[in-house]
Amino acid sequence: MSRENNKQNNLPDYKKLKKITNKTILYLILIAGVVITFFPFYYMMVLATRCRSEIFCYPPPLWFGNSAIINLNILLDKLPFFKNILNSIIVSTLATLLVLFFCSLGGYGFAKYSFKNKEKLFFLMLASMMIPPLLSIIPWFIMMRVFGWINSFKPLIIPGAANAFGIFLMRQFMEKIPNEIIDAARIDGAGEFEIYYKIAVPLSKPGLATLSILTFLSSWNNFMGPLLILQDKTMYTIPVALSKLNGNFETPWGATMMGTALGVLPIVIVFIMASKRFISGLTRGATKG
């Protein structure tokens, strides 16, 4: 009897120890994941403060150096870099605003209206997502040349304003809006656009936040389109501008890392500002009801 009592008394302690061990292992895995994710950004900032000879020395530098101002001056001598950042901000912001408007309209239409061949049209739209973007780059460039949009921001903003992914994402969110609310608004005399603007959009804010971050990042990191369209150095966006730092004989890696670090900063700010709604949008999009 005494042995059985001892086993029963020791059982809670064992469970507590197991729980603490599991939590410790989980936290260690999460910390390792954070370190692995953050280290490339940290090392990029370290290299932004180092000269070329220090960058390629062995062992590699792991702490900040004294060449940050020199690298920044090289960057500004070779490129109108702050103008390039402004270009990226303008293109990414306008592209995001247009995508939010047209994709939310399209998603609302597919979610709350019934019309002929609705499902077939939606399936055809989704099928277009299976086409690799690079396959359409040549006809896209020919169209932009015919429109006279070469060396302008229009090709980077307008063609993707109503894309299949954005419409699909917003449809998934707006399908969850109760039809009773929309019917009640119609009975009260609200117009269709007023219902969309005052009811559908506010109830879909997590989805809009998710779409805005994904669109902003995609537009900011777009390289192929601006490389083909933009010809003037003052019109370059960040990815194209940084690629032009590569010389035939020597590449200023310190200046390149400085430009990359400065180019990442706006993306980090945008994500921090919308992170709560972004995470909420991802979790809501993964569940039904």
pLDDT digits (tens, 9 = 90+) for 109-128: 998 888 888 889 999 988 88
- Please give the average per-residue pLDDT across 74-103, as a whole number: 92
Predicted TM-score (pTM) of this structure? 0.82
b/e burial code for range 97-135 (CB count within 10 A of at least 16 → b): ebbbebbbbbbbbbbbeeeeeeeeebeebeeeeeeeeee
| Residue 272: per-residue pLDDT | 78
Measure the CA–CA gap between 217 and 125, rounded to whole angstroms.
Answer: 23
> For 61, which DSSP code?
P
CA distances from 161 to 65, 92, 114, 207, 287 (A): 43, 11, 23, 16, 27
pLDDT value for 1: 46
Domain spans of the chain, in order of start: 2-47, 68-285
- Average pLDDT rounded to a whole number, residues 18-29: 87
C-alpha dihedral, 63 to 69 to 72 to 77, nearest 10°: -150
Rounded distance, CA 284 to CA 289, Å?
9
Per-residue pLDDT of 143-184, as tens digits, reads 999 999 999 999 999 998 989 999 999 998 888 888 888 889
Tell which wins on pLDDT, 45 or 6.
Answer: 45
What percent of the chain lies above the pLDDT cut of 70?
89
Residue 248 above 80 pLDDT? no
Residue 108 near residue 196 (C-beta atoms within 8 A): yes
Q: What is the pLDDT averaged over residues 217-240?
A: 91
Distance CA 226, CA 236 (A): 7
> Cα separation of 166 and 174, whole Å?
12
What dotted CATH number matches 68-285?
A: 1.10.3720.10
Comparing CA positions, the residue from 241, 98, 83, 100 lying closest to residue 156 is 98
pLDDT the model gives residue 247: 66
Residues 63/46, Cβ–Cβ less than 8 Å: yes
**Confidence (pLDDT) at 52:** 81
Mean pLDDT of 246-270: 82
Distance separating alpha carbons of residues 287 and 91, to the nearest angstrom: 33
State the CB neighbour count (10 A cutoff) for residue 13: 9
